[in-house]
Chains A and B, each alone.
Chain A
Amino acid sequence: MNEKLLTVRGLKKHFSVEDGVFGGKVKVVHAVDGINFEIGENEVLSLVGESGCGKSTTGRLILRLIEPTEGEIVFMGEDICKVNGKRMKELRREMQIIFQDPYASLNPRLTVREIVEEPLIVHRIGTKQERREEVAGLLEKVGLSQDAMRRYPHEFSGGQRQRIGVARAIALKPKLIVADEPVSALDVSIQAQVINLLKELQEEKHISYLFIAHDLNIVRHISNRVAVMYLGKIMELAHVDELYKRPLHPYTQALLSAIPVPDPSGRERKIILLSGDIPSPIDIPSGCRFHPRCPKMIQECKNIIPYLEDFGSGHTVACIRAREWA
């Protein structure tokens, strides 16, 4: 068994929010509520789920952009929540992030060269001349022309901006990149370009991705393994082909059935319509947190909290009824 690049154990993040006009009552948002997963070297793990499921919070926790309430994040053999600031800075070289919004994540006052060079300066890499050459190479790598260097972010389209973000993320040759909805702000014809770039870099530079997305077609294309989150917990985790061909959790089944298919003859297929809304992560339902919307709910689901059980070859599911149809 190869050494895991990242191991997450019992990770929790609870936010306190004050309720009412004058504060007073404090409520707790269970954004991430006890999750475990691993990412191997050169592996793409996707986190999917609907808004409020905690997938973006998980991404930020892993980079320690926010501090966890509980749990361990072991990256390259070290628990990043326990290391000091100096060591953290060293570890950060190995972990980078690509954000969703290419309009908000680039400093409008810096030129593209300055944006891509900045991580190299922060980590004191190379001489000025060496850094210039490095930036030129990075821009070429992500498919931008050399004259992009002297220009500013506003001069670029969304897809090109995302390429700038990618160049910055790979500048330090990281081992892990958290890609938080990297294409959802882009036009359909541009999404495929950026996805291809990300995949190419992953294969060539052996980077692992934690890929956070809600587009299940793209996730299927890029991932090795997929974790489905709902209200702060992982409901199902499996190898990508296994998950799409044999989803075992009723939530995964509904989610996959709801993807619109660009083929009118697919209208005949059965869509599992879930009733109701996604509950607030403040008032988590008892038992299985999916039970109020679950088409397969039985009485026990209201009381028993399901744990992830192994259904073979790393396919784990948190549902007390899954054995019935597995």
Chain B
Amino acid sequence: MLLTVDRLKTYFHTSEGIIRAVDDVSFKIERGRILGIVGESGCGKSMTAMSIMRLVPSPGKIVGGNINFDGHDLLKLSNEEIRRLRGDRMAMIFQDPMTSLNPVFTIGEQIAEILRTHRGLKKSAALERTESLLQNVGIPDPARRIREYPHQMSGGMRQRVMIAMAISCEPSLIIADEPTTALDVTIQAQILRLLKGLTDSLNTALILISHDLGIIAETADEVGVMYAGKVVEYATTKELFANPLHPYTIGLLESIPRFGEVKEDRLRTIKGVVPKLSELPEGCKFNPRCKYVIEKCNNAEPELIDTGVGHLVRCWVDLNKSKSK
């Protein structure tokens, strides 16, 4: 197994109390596979990624669990050791390529810097390799583009540059956090295709974080659905979309407009609001919004249970059986 995240807990100690941004999250991913993590704002999906990269911002702290990456116990590595892995063996792509690129260096200098740091390449060799990387991610005329600054490029092109940076050292793991959210739909289609192709050709593991179930359905092999810091459902993509078992997943899927024979007049909704992590309810975190709620949900938090076939769900109500009846 390339990456094993086991019972990860990342908490923030704030004046409002302890915020459990990531609370007991476990998953695994193998090379060549794409794991989708889906959820709404504040569900902990980005903080899970930051924890794996050991980039949790203060006052956040990883307070429990294990992260094993390619034989390394990530939580035990020194800052120096983790820095050597980051950008080399594991890389990250962020939502907004404009703020993650340095505006005062050319594209070429920024990618070459990684190659010089991690691979010890000389300047000319690094630039040569940079050109071929840009070619790989579909940037036309790379010889000219390496001399350009980030502001001279479009959003889609900048995201391609970010991807080129991420794959520059052929990492075994890439984490892409909402990589297409800032992009237009026709450009999004290009970038998703590119990411998928690279996962195949480089045999890289990809963790794709998104709020868009459509993107997840089209790209991921497996999916984890997160809510309020926890994984509430986990299954293969095919299984999750064919047979969603958690009320939250079901609600999310239902709230997307559908166009069958008859057009539905009203969209189905999940009632209430996305909760603040500082004001979570007792018991199951989803209980105030859940339409299947029973007494037990208000008192005790359910565990993530395997319903068989590797389909995990964190819910007291067995929606699987109620369906078949």
- Measured CB to CB, the residues of A under 8 A from B are 50-51, 157, 159-160, 187-193, 195-196, 199-200, 214, 216-218, 220-221, 244, 254-255, 257-267, 271, 273-274, 276-278
CB pair A187 B267 closer than 8 Å: no
Return the chain B residue nearest A48 by Cβ: B185
Q: Which residues of A contact B263 (CB under 8 A)?
A: 221
CB pair A195 B267 closer than 8 Å: yes
Contact of B211 with A by CB under 8 A: yes
Q: Which residues of B contact A244 (CB under 8 A)?
A: 259
CB pair B154 A264 closer than 8 Å: no
Q: Which residues of A contact B189 (CB under 8 A)?
A: 257-258, 271, 273-274
CB pair A189 B217 closer than 8 Å: no
> Interface majority SS on A: helix, strand, loop or mixed?
helix
Complex partner residue of B214 from A192, A214, A260, CB under 8 angstroms:
A260
Q: Which residues of B contact A264 (CB under 8 A)?
A: 217-218, 237-238, 241-242
Contact of B157 with A by CB under 8 A: yes
Complex partner residue of B267 from A157, A221, A261, A277, CB under 8 angstroms:
A221
| B145-160 to A contact mask, C-beta < 8 Å, 1/0 | 0000000001111000
Complex partner residue of A196 from B157, B184, B218, B266, CB under 8 angstroms:
B266
CB pair B214 A259 closer than 8 Å: yes
Complex partner residue of A277 from B157, B238, B257, CB under 8 angstroms:
B157
13 contacts between A and B (CB under 8 A): A50-B184, A51-B155, A188-B40, A188-B213, A189-B270, A196-B269, A199-B265, A214-B184, A260-B217, A263-B241, A273-B189, A277-B154, A278-B186
Return the chain A residue nearest B212 by Cβ: A260
Contact of B104 with A by CB under 8 A: no
Contact of B190 with A by CB under 8 A: yes
Give A273 to B191 CA distance when docked, in angstroms.
10
**Pairs of residues from A and B, 6 with the lowest C-beta to C-beta distance, nearest first:** A260-B214, A50-B184, A192-B255, A221-B257, A192-B267, A187-B40
CB pair B274 A273 closer than 8 Å: no
CB pair A262 B257 closer than 8 Å: no
A-B CB pair tally, cutoff 8 Å: 116
- Measured CB to CB, the residues of B under 8 A from A are 40-41, 140, 154-157, 184-190, 192-193, 211-218, 237-238, 241-242, 251-253, 255-257, 259, 263, 265-271, 273-274, 289
CB pair B193 A273 closer than 8 Å: yes
Q: Which residues of B contact A257 (CB under 8 A)?
A: 189
CB pair B40 A262 closer than 8 Å: no
A188-B156 in contact given A159-B273, A263-B241 (Cβ < 8 Å): no
A255-B218 in contact given A189-B269, A218-B257 (Cβ < 8 Å): no
A51-B257 in contact given A157-B274, A259-B214, A260-B214 (Cβ < 8 Å): no
Give A324 to B256 CA distance when docked, in angstroms.
34
Q: Which residues of B contact A214 (CB under 8 A)?
A: 184-185
Give A221 to B267 CA distance when docked, in angstroms.
9
Given A157-B273, A160-B273, A191-B255, 16 additional A-B pairs, CB 8 A: A51-B184, A188-B40, A188-B211, A189-B270, A189-B274, A216-B185, A220-B259, A260-B192, A260-B212, A260-B217, A261-B218, A264-B237, A277-B157, A277-B187, A278-B184, A278-B187
CB pair A192 B218 closer than 8 Å: no
